[in-house]
């Protein structure tokens, strides 16, 4: 982000698997257990590392917390970026969001 003119904004990519709301807890637990088994296998870890990924085998609750944290963070970051853009004379015409 520093190259884009936002040196204070830090971000990273992450991937996860989501299920529809209302999915039974036992299905979520089963999926989580099998996914954790897969991503923690040495061969899988090596293949992911080869493409620059570092697998994290967290729980569904931990992932839900991460999503909520990231949503809050990026809502604040995008709001600050929009305010900064509005202060720029060439971008002053950006409409206010309600």
Q: Residue 94 pLDDT > 60, yes or no?
A: no
Residue 16 CB contacts under 8 Å (≥ 6 apart), including other chains: 63, 66, 67
Q: From the CB of residue 36, how many other CB atoms can be counted at a distance below 10 Å?
A: 14
Written as six digits, the tokens of 77 are: 């970051």
Mean pLDDT of 87-96: 56
Q: pLDDT category, 90, cuts 50, 70, 90? A: low
Residue-level pLDDT at 75 = 78
Domain ranges of the chain: 22-57, 61-98
- What are the φ and ψ backbone dihedral angles of 13, each rounded to 5 degrees? -85, 145
Residue-level pLDDT at 70 = 85
Mean pLDDT of 7-22: 82
């Amino acid at each position: 982000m520093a190259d884009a003119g936002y040196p204070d904004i830090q971000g990273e990519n992450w991937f996860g698997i989501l299920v529809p709301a209302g999915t039974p807890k036992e299905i979520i637990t089963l999926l989580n257990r099998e996914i954790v088994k897969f991503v923690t296998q040495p061969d899988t870890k090596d293949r992911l590392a080869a493409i620059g990924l570092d697998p994290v085998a967290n729980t569904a609750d931990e992932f839900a917390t991460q999503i909520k944290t990231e949503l809050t963070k990026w809502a604040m970051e995008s709001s600050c970026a929009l305010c900064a853009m509005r202060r720029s004379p060439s971008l002053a015409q950006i409409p206010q969001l309600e």
